Amino acid sequence: MGTPKDEYMDASSNVRHWSTLRFAQLTIYIALMGGLLNIIYGKSGSLSIQAGILLKIAGLLLTLLFWNLQERTMLYWYNFVRRAAELEETLGFSQYSNRPKAGVFSSRNAMRLLFFVMALLWVGELLGFGI
């Protein structure tokens, strides 16, 4: 059976894992969006109307998918941060329990804003209000 310190170390490791995963997901998302926008608006040739619509739908669906992935990743991250903060009371640590408050413009809300704006962009594209 493990000790609170062992669980704390594991929770801290999980916090790092989910934080790294969050930014890896963002990197993949940005690469996908760059590729889609390049295909749609690049100088490689014109697309058929149907292909353009399908690619814009793909952009919206990918945005919603990655938004959901970010939300789920943050749920796990917050779960392990909360658990580590709980364990700190027993261990006399304060790394997680005394972390600065995020405020209104937290990284979570910044990501939500990014995905919201990107979803609006794709909806606008589909409705004919393109860039």
pLDDT tens-digit series, residues 5-38: 999 999 999 999 999 999 999 999 999 999 999 9
Distance CA 76, CA 70 (A): 10
- The amino acid present at 97, given as its one-letter code, is S
For 69-128, what is the HEC assignment? HHHHHHHHHHHHHHHHHHHHHHHCCCCCCCCCCCCCCCHHHHHHHHHHHHHHHHHHHHCC
Distance CA 13, CA 81 (A): 10
Helix (H) / strand (E) element for 12: namely helix 4-41
Averaged confidence pLDDT in the chain: 94
Supply the pTM of this predicted model: 0.90
Distance CA 68, CA 48 (A): 30
Which structure tokens are listed for 68? Answer: 């959901």
**Separation of first and last alpha carbons in the chain:** 59
The pLDDT confidence band at residue 46, using thresholds 50, 70 and 90, is confident
pLDDT in tens, 80-105: 999 999 999 999 999 999 999 888 88
